[in-house]
Structure 1
Amino acid sequence: MSKRGAEELNGAPLKAGQRPENGTSNGDNLDFEDDYEDEFESEDEVMEAGVDGRPDAEREAEAARDAMDVDIKEQTFIPGRSILQPGQTLSPDPSTYEMLHVMSTPWPCLSFDIVRDNLGDNRKRYPRTLYAVAGTQAESARSRENELMILKLSSLSKMDRPNETDSESDDDDDDASDPILESKSITLQSTTNRIRCFQPTQPSADPSQIPMTLTAVSLENSQIQIHNVTPYLRLLSTPGFTLPPDASKPIATLRMHKTEGYALDWAPASSFPAGRLLSGDCAGQIFSSQGTEAGTFSADSKPYLGHTDAVEEIQWSPSEKNVFASASSDGSVKVWDVRSKSRKPAVDVKISDTDVNVMSWSHKTAHLLATGADDGQWGVWDLRQWKPQQGSNSNKQLTPSAVASFNFHKKPITSIEWHPNDDSAVAVTSADNTATLWDLSVEIDDEEYGKEAGLGLGEGAEKVPPQLLFIHHVEDGKEIHWHPQMPGTLMVTGGSGFGVFKTISI
């Protein structure tokens, strides 16, 4: 993000279908001009006068003033450190994006999930298409307007770059068009706290169609509803398709929770092809729900107990089908084995003095777990250090050290996710109105990581971690996900709507 004087901006925020314009001049009508022509007759006189005829101190003072003017007009904005002055506003730097699109919905959608499609993996061509599901958060007085939204975003084009060579755009279609947002909706009776989608492993009867897709929605009224949204996805992708009469009816409504919750995760389909769902609530309870071949779901009556406060996040292990982890407002992360009859955690780790809001288990390196907390810190943990102690102290709460820890954000971490194919790349969103991208493979160079790491914020400014690659502005950012089929592409949601972007750095 860059911070500019208001006179440099047109004052209009980005709308759906708009892209930031690259304001680079083509250089026409520019001439080199010598302000001191003929003032000195020889090079010796010029050198004696200090290049432009003025004392060194005077020239250095003017250079400092000029540098300050440039900083005021346009400079990097660092959340929690930079301050917007009167007349300044934030503007994205288009030179740092390969793709950037923003869009809004009737009500904020503070949780969403990306749907895998049939358009192929490792897609790099433009324009691009993606599918997603999201749940709305309507105002309390209008709660009946809440919806489960099925989204199709198409014609997502690469940003215009006048200086790009033909070879750099070979993979792109010539005729870029405005982005298109299409949606279908299912009425919900309450606000969506969290939504996650699941695709069983059974092959589709028609390989050209999007695979069967189920959604689980954790509602503010404490219910969990499961829908089959496959017909809606086919309606968006197949001309002439019509919805069956009962398409909007949930295939299951689970009522085992007594309070609302935010933690929700499907087990990998390879482990439980019919679907197995874990859900946590604000009372600290975790329930398991099992799908059947007939397409029905039933919830266990006995919860997993161990947390003393709200369960904020649940994640199944990517490598062990009977293991999951949970994060809680009690500041702990616990690891569980569903085969245990006691339904108590196998490992109990205290990692923060504040709420642990979010968590992500690396699918590339299964012993790495990333967490984010209410104090703005996020860290990476090596689960090989979390082995339970033997003997009478086997249930003792552990306090290991993080492999890496960052306190760059000064407000709560609201979402965190590992790159699906790179165990060094992590995406983070925070209540400080930013989404940040990190590269953990970057090593600190003590010589380079000096005062200049403060990015011109003044003497004594807190250094910016060299692992920080990118800052993207998102108002009241809540959730971010990497697209598993388009390398480096991210989707993020917040109070002002959705953003889909890809940076030039990843």
Structure 2
Amino acid sequence: MRKKRAAKPPHAKKASASNNPMMEEEDQDGEEGLKPSVFVPGRDTIDGDEALQYDPTAYDCMSSMSLEWPSLSFDIVPDSLGDDRRAFPHTMFMVAGTQAASSKLNYLAVMKVSNLTQGKHGAAAAAGKKKRKDGGDGSDSDEDMISEESDSDDEDEQEDAKLHVKKIAHTGGINRIRSMPQQPHVIASWADTAQVQVWDLSQQLTELANEAEPAAGSGKIIKVNARQVHTHSAEGYALDWSPLAVGRLASGDCRSKIHVWDPTPSGKWAVGGAMKGHDASVEDIQWSPTESTVFASCSVDKTIRIWDTRETAKAMLAVTAHDTDVNVISWNKLTAYMLASGGDEGALKVWDLRQFSPGTAAPVASFTHHRGPVTSVEWCPHEASMLLTTSSDNTLGVWDLAVERDPEEEAALAPETNVAAPADLPAQLLFLHAGQSDLKEGHWHKHIPGMVVTTAADGFNIFKPANV
């Protein structure tokens, strides 16, 4: 079963940014004498009279924003603002494609998000928590309470992110969108009309970079001609640019065909013939980080295949990877022999390509924490052992394969936390993010270590886990 599109709201809404990405409902006082337990998002449920409240100290920053329509796919656009950016406030650029109620209402959203501050998260949250703990006798004076409310108001004002948007008309909903690594202003989009289009959005990105405040009239959808259009025999989702060969693109469709695009001196692309091998829809494609002619693909036929563009007749290697559809794959750019995959059964698997052999291979790691199909997987660009997953169980997981469970350390921490982690919770699962509906994609920011962006039916979340 291929990935479903994000649910469409009954009415469009205005593009917006806010600092309340999760519903912060009132605390429910626990009954005296009951031992607290760990609530695991995506697995545990709450009763109708219960409510959840997220802990701001778990995040270094957190913001949410939305467009008029949901986005099934987006990409973070590399910029020239510098690498290893850690000081707040942050600025970032993204492209996204909409899933509107009507085909003619869709657009490519070219976005700048500025003034991303910590607000009430990170150091501010930790200081507030310590202050409440130190003064936890409930004897705060009215003056102290007014002061705390004022501080909270200041934090709310500080953390408002600014969303700048340029909208490009696009016929059909966008299934996937990707920015070229070497020329980030060149964007490829996969539409539900069976068309793959390549766009030059340099003008829009330049205009956004020069904007101090969101421009008036930014809600207007403008017409831009695509640099190239190729029509497959069916719609698709698989799309990836080569990190090595400038301008080389691969697209895979729901009728199992893969096409490789190569740039020409005229500024166009030569689209190669169909590469056949899969028996069902091609769901994802990832180019090798070390070999410019090699890429991997995954499919509803339960396999991962390795291809070489110099041999188009068939795949070099085919491995049955999951018991269900293989929805997504990610090739580790820091450890080039590692490949991760996510399946419809909710499993995350990690493969050592040095041990890949025809037939059924064994993963070096496998986790079945998610309670729904895995909808995206991506290795961290800064830590070779770290990756993220998103799932239709409405959670994002951050994983570190280098972590192992330490019973002695857990026993030592037990008196302090007054609660033990569930025995079946993987030690490698560092962080769980929840609060979004119909979660579709998650990406790491290449220039801001630890920063994550997600898209779901109810918009985007931008956050940095405190422990990453």
The two structures have a TM-score, normalised by structure 2, of 0.81
Matches within 5 A, 1:162-201: 164=127, 176=158, 178-200=160-182
Match of 1:272 in 2: 245
Instruction: Report Cα offsets for 1:476-505 as digits up to 9, x if no partner.
Output: 110000000000000000111000000111
- In 1, the alpha carbon distance for the partners of 2:191 and 2:302 equals 24
Match of 1:248 in 2: 224
Amino acid at match of 2:262: Q
Q: Is the 8 A contact 1:79 1:409 kept in 2?
A: no
Instruction: Report Cα offsets for 1:172-215 as digits up to 9, x if no partner.
Output: xxx945210010011111000000011436xxxxxxxxxx5111
Matches within 5 A, 1:283-322: 283-300=255-272, 302-322=273-293
1:351 and 2:335 aligned? no
Shift of 1:252: 0.6
1:216 and 2:188 aligned? yes
3-state SS of the aligned residue for 2:57? helix
Amino acid at match of 1:265: D
- In 2, the alpha carbon distance for the partners of 1:399 and 1:297 equals 36
Structure 1 residue runs without a partner (length 5+):
1-14, 24-63, 166-174, 202-211, 388-396
Matches within 5 A, 1:354-369: 354-369=324-339
Given candidates 7, 32, 36, the residue that maps to 1:66 is 32
Larger relative CO (CA 8 A, sep 6+): 1 or 2?
Answer: 2
- In 1, the alpha carbon distance for the partners of 2:200 and 2:462 equals 25
Amino acid at match of 2:432: I
- In 1, the alpha carbon distance for the partners of 2:283 and 2:181 equals 24
Distance change (3 Å), C-alpha of 1:359 and 1:464? same
Shift of 1:324: 0.3
- In 2, the alpha carbon distance for the partners of 1:136 and 1:456 equals 45
Matches within 5 A, 1:401-412: 401-412=362-373
1:439 and 2:420 aligned? no
- In 2, the alpha carbon distance for the partners of 1:366 and 1:311 equals 22
Distance change (3 Å), C-alpha of 1:327 and 1:157? same
Shift of 1:409: 0.6
Shift of 1:298: 2.5
Shift of 1:378: 0.6
Shift of 1:86: 1.3
Q: Is the 8 A contact 2:42 2:395 kept in 1?
A: no
Match of 1:91 in 2: 53
Instruction: Report Cα offsets for 1:324-351 as digits up to 9, x if no partner.
Output: 00010111000011111x4311111111
Match of 1:339 in 2: 310
Identical aligned pairs, as a percentage?
A: 39
- In 2, the alpha carbon distance for the partners of 1:121 and 1:181 equals 22
- In 2, the alpha carbon distance for the partners of 1:343 and 1:503 equals 45
Shift of 1:443: 1.3
Distance change (3 Å), C-alpha of 1:442 and 1:144? same
Q: Is the 8 A contact 1:449 1:466 kept in 2?
A: no
Distance change (3 Å), C-alpha of 1:107 and 1:456? farther
Match of 2:444 in 1: 482
1:132 and 2:69 aligned? no
RMSD: 3.0
Distance change (3 Å), C-alpha of 1:327 and 1:20? closer
Q: Is the 8 A contact 1:428 1:480 kept in 2?
A: yes
3-state SS of the aligned residue for 1:118? coil
Distance change (3 Å), C-alpha of 1:485 and 1:101? same
Structure 2 residue runs without a partner (length 5+):
1-15, 25-29, 129-156
- In 2, the alpha carbon distance for the partners of 1:448 and 1:76 equals 18
Match of 1:151 in 2: 111
Given candidates 57, 71, 78, the residue that maps to 1:109 is 71
The two structures have a TM-score, normalised by structure 1, of 0.75
3-state SS of the aligned residue for 1:95? helix
Q: Is the 8 A contact 1:381 1:402 kept in 2?
A: yes
Instruction: Report Cα offsets for 1:426-468 as digits up to 9, x if no partner.
Output: 1110000111111111113366789x99x99999x76111111
3-state SS of the aligned residue for 1:227? strand
Match of 1:400 in 2: 361
Amino acid at match of 2:103: S
Shift of 1:78: 1.1
Instruction: Report Cα offsets for 1:298-335 as digits up to 9, x if no partner.
Output: 211x2111100100000000011111000101110000
Shift of 1:239: 5.1
Match of 1:225 in 2: 197
